[in-house]
Amino acid sequence: MLLMEFVRRCLDLAYPHKCALCGLLGLDSPCAVCISQMEERVNTWRDPHRTLDQVSYCYFYSGRAAQAVQRLKYSRSTSLAKWMANQMYKFHGHMVQENAIVIPVPIHWTRRNHRGFNQSDLLSEPFGDRVRSNYLKRTRSTPAQAGLSHEERLLNLDGAFSASKEVKGKSVFLIDDVVTSGGTAIECSKALKAQGALQVSVISFCGIT
């Protein structure tokens, strides 16, 4: 027991806890200062075409909140993932009814192999046994959306997802790190509704409106 405690203390000295955003040493990641710099935006908007029934997020996509999204995606920061997922659950978990299912927005398997994980899987963890990662697949690898016009984004994603028949009659909540134009979520929703999903909503960490 003493030996274990000794090993733990040595590890703490060698790898001290620090905020994944500003690098400040301490127990919390992200630290209270970084959290206070995020612009809380517990917003909900509706897609005018009703392909998406509801989009809800927690923070405006800028500054520390945008940095958190980037850090999570490019350097699997598990301390950040846990905090981000818990915020999403705390703000919006109550909307997920008893019989609804939760689906992380999938990335193509080639990207997953390259990155080693899908950030949306990590953000879905608080939803526990309601998560159905295998009900939606990305069937086509698409170039990154950044830098494309709205029309190019929609064309880029056309037919990129396929949904399982199991979604028929279900209310679905997609989980994503950030919703900007909504193009990805709308394509997911089309695939889910083509298989009979009743409603498709999105819960994400960040949004831009």
**Binding site residues, Zn ion, CB under 5 A:** 19, 21-22, 24, 31, 34
Smallest gap, in angstroms, from Cβ of residue 115 to Zn ion? 24
What 3-state class would DSSP assign to 38?
coil
- Treating both helix axes as pointing N-terminal to C-terminal, what angle do 150-157 and 183-194 enclose, rounded to 10 degrees? 40
- Computed over its alpha carbons, how large is the radius of gyration of the chain? 18
Cβ proximity to Zn ion, 63 vs 93, nearer residue: 63
Smallest gap, in angstroms, from Cβ of residue 64 to Zn ion? 8
Closest residue to Zn ion, based on beta-carbon distance: 19
The CA distance from 50 to 46, in Å, is 7
Residue 31's nearest CA partner among 78, 72, 64 is 64
Smallest gap, in angstroms, from Cβ of residue 34 to Zn ion? 3
Burial class (CB in 10 A: 0-12, 13-18, 19+), 181: middle
Q: Which residues, 6+ apart, have CB-to-CB distance to 29 below 8 Å?
A: 17, 18, 19, 20, 21, 77, 79, 80, 83
Smallest gap, in angstroms, from Cβ of residue 38 to Zn ion? 11
Cβ proximity to Zn ion, 79 vs 162, nearer residue: 79
Cβ proximity to Zn ion, 68 vs 157, nearer residue: 68
Smallest gap, in angstroms, from Cβ of residue 62 to Zn ion? 16
Cβ proximity to Zn ion, 68 vs 96, nearer residue: 68
The CA distance from 104 to 124, in Å, is 6
State the Cα torsion 189-192-193-196 to the nearest 10°.
-160
Cβ proximity to Zn ion, 34 vs 200, nearer residue: 34
